């Protein structure tokens, strides 16, 4: 009898171990495997209304994303549009301004909100002339957009996980008005860029080398100083560059939105939100082994002294479902002398511009003016 109990317990433990290993691999795949597909498309269009004076409006089923203030892209499988501020709402629906519709949009269509408002290029989206350039890197040339400016200080924009340079089109007009030539870069595993060895994302651990190459490109082409602007994993790439690159002394300032400052904290938070805290440590281990990373070297909360004296403008949405806002706040509190911090109560991940574009642009412009007086 005892023998069968032992056998049963052993089988159960093996089954649990296999399940945990399988779940850990699955979630590591979700994080580390590049994915440039859209979706998931879950927000239903209830109606489209034409109004001669104020243009079209779109009626969407109500949830936290559709009722959130600001301007966003609305994307569906075969199309893209821009949704503006909320016009009205009921218990079940939200009506918002609708512009720049590309593709067939009709009641019943299901889509997703995206903080990356434009998908085109600097000229088409923002009226800013640009050149397509190739940044030389050890993995091969990386595509980038280059805009002109009178300043010897260049901005370099670094997008987040599975993103594109189009993320920087929100900040670009303010950077341009400040006179900063700007590079909106790609890095390994992006569409059109070389793949990383092994094809996996490394959470900034190696991607910073592509920013290093972009910084060298800027300095070789007339830049004297650099302002690094980025969001989400782009923030991790930037902060690692600041601590690792020989070119870091040329950095004048950082502008960060929802930066990934501690990947272990992010993974723990995600596991807890999915009621899977029990597999948090196995997932962290699997990610570490597959990506060959050192979490301590990606935990900027342990390295705040390396950022002392660098002017930093930091934004964080308090409704961010991915980056724990408390991590960003800890980072800000560790650097009271050189960091300006804005919390956005209604902003989700990388949506600080979106919830109030005018206010964000005003704050960014003021920060850049202060740099000019240093």
**What are the tokens at 77?**
């499988």
370 backbone dihedrals φ, ψ, rounded to 5°: -65, -35
Q: What pLDDT does 16 receive? A: 45
What is the reported pLDDT for 10?
Answer: 46
What's the confidence (pLDDT) of residue 9? Answer: 39
Which own/partner contact pairs does 192-200 have at CB distance under 8 Å and 24+ positions apart?
A: 192/143, 193/140, 193/142, 193/143, 194/137, 194/139, 194/140, 194/141, 194/142, 195/34, 195/139, 196/139, 197/139, 199/33, 199/34, 200/32, 200/33, 200/34, 200/290, 200/291
Reading phi first (left if > 0) and then psi (alpha if -120 to 50, else beta), residue 86 is in beta
Nearest CA among 176, 170, 130, 123 for reference residue 149: 176
Spatial neighbors of 75 by CB under 8 A, at least 6 apart, are 38, 41, 81, 111, 112, 114
130: tokens are 């640009």
DSSP one-letter string for 89-124:
E-SSEEEEEEEEEES---TT-EEEEES----S-HHH
Burial class (CB in 10 A: 0-12, 13-18, 19+), 308: exposed
Q: Which of 63, 66, 64, 62 is nearest to 98 (CA)?
A: 66
Contact 187/211 with Cβ under 8 angstroms?
Answer: yes
Residue 69 contacts residue 86 (beta carbons within 8 Å) = yes
Residue 149 structure tokens:
């400016």
Q: And the tokens for 270? A: 């995600």
Per-residue pLDDT of 8-45, as tens digits, reads 434 443 444 445 667 888 889 999 999 998 889 999 99
pTM: 0.93
- What are 315's two structure tokens? 């934004």
Each domain of the chain, given as residue ranges in start order, spans 43-114, 122-372
Question: What span, in angstroms and rounded, lies between the C-alpha atoms of 187 and 131?
Answer: 18
Instruction: Return the pLDDT at 26.
Output: 86
Contact 187, 237 (CB under 8 A): yes
**DSSP-derived secondary structure for 259-325:** ----HHHHHHHHHHHTT-GGGHHHHHHHHHHHHT--GGGG-GGG-GGGGTTS-EEEEEETT-SSS-H
Look up residue 284 and give its two tokens.
Answer: 């962290």
Q: How many CB atoms lie within 10 A of CB 296?
A: 10
The pLDDT of residue 19? 56
Q: Are 214 and 186 within 8 A, CB to CB?
A: no
Distance (Å, whole) CA 374 – CA 367: 11
Superfamily of domain 122-372: Alpha/Beta hydrolase fold, catalytic domain (3.40.50.1820)
pLDDT values of the chain reduced to their tens digit, one per residue, 374 residues = 555 544 543 444 344 444 566 788 888 999 999 999 888 999 999 999 876 456 799 999 999 999 999 999 999 999 999 999 999 999 999 999 999 999 999 999 999 999 999 999 999 999 999 999 999 999 999 999 999 999 999 999 999 999 999 999 999 999 999 999 999 999 999 999 999 999 999 999 999 999 999 999 999 999 999 999 999 999 999 999 999 999 999 999 999 999 999 999 999 999 999 888 889 999 999 999 999 999 999 999 999 999 999 999 999 999 999 999 999 999 999 999 999 999 999 999 999 999 999 999 999 999 999 997 44
- Nearest partner of 254 among 306, 296, 187, judged by Cα: 306
Backbone angles phi, psi at 241, to 5 degrees: -55, -45
Q: Say how many C-beta atoms besides its own lie within 10 A of residue 222's C-beta.
A: 10
**From start to end of 128-266, where are the E strands?**
131-135, 142-147, 153-158, 182-185, 225-231, 251-257
Q: Are 103 and 78 in contact (CB under 8 A)?
A: yes
């Amino acid at each position: 009898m005892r023998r069968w109990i032992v056998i049963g317990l052993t089988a159960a433990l093996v089954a649990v171990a296999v399940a945990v290993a399988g779940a850990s691999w699955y979630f590591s795949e979700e994080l580390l495997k590049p994915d440039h597909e859209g979706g998931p498309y879950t927000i239903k269009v209830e109606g489209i209304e034409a109004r001669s004076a104020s243009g079209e409006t779109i009626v969407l089923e109500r949830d936290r994303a559709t009722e959130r203030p600001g301007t966003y892209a609305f994307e569906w499988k075969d199309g893209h549009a821009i949704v503006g501020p909320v016009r009205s709402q009921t218990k079940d629906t939200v009506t918002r301004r609708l512009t720049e519709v590309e593709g067939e949009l009709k009641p019943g269509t299901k889509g997703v909100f995206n903080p990356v408002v434009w998908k085109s290029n600097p000229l088409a989206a923002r009226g800013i002339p640009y050149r397509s350039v190739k940044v030389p890197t050890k993995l091969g040339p990386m595509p980038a957009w280059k805009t002109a400016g009178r300043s010897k200080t260049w901005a370099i924009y670094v997008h987040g996980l599975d993103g594109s340079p189009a993320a920087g089109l929100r900040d670009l007009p303010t950077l341009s008005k400040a006179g900063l030539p700007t590079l909106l870069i790609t890095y390994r595993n992006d569409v059109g860029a070389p793949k990383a060895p092994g094809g996996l994302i490394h959470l900034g651990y190696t991607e910073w080398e592509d920013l290093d190459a972009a910084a060298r490109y800027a300095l070789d082409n007339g830049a004297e100083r650099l302002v690094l602007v980025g969001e989400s994993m782009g923030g991790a790439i930037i902060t690692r560059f600041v601590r690792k690159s020989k070119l870091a002394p040329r950095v004048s300032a950082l502008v960060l939105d929802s930066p990934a400052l501690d990947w272990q904290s992010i993974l723990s938070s995600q596991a807890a939100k999915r009621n899977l805290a029990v597999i948090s440590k196995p997932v962290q281990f699997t990610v570490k082994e597959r990506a060959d990373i050192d979490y301590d070297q990606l935990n900027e909360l342990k390295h705040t002294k390396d950022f002392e004296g660098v002017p930093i403008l930091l934004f964080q949405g308090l409704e961010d479902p991915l980056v724990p806002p408390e991590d960003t706040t800890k980072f800000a509190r560790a650097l009271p002398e050189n960091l300006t911090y804005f919390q956005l109560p209604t902003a989700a991940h990388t949506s600080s511009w979106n919830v109030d574009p005018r206010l964000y642009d005003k704050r960014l412009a003021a920060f850049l003016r202060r740099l000019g007086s240093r």
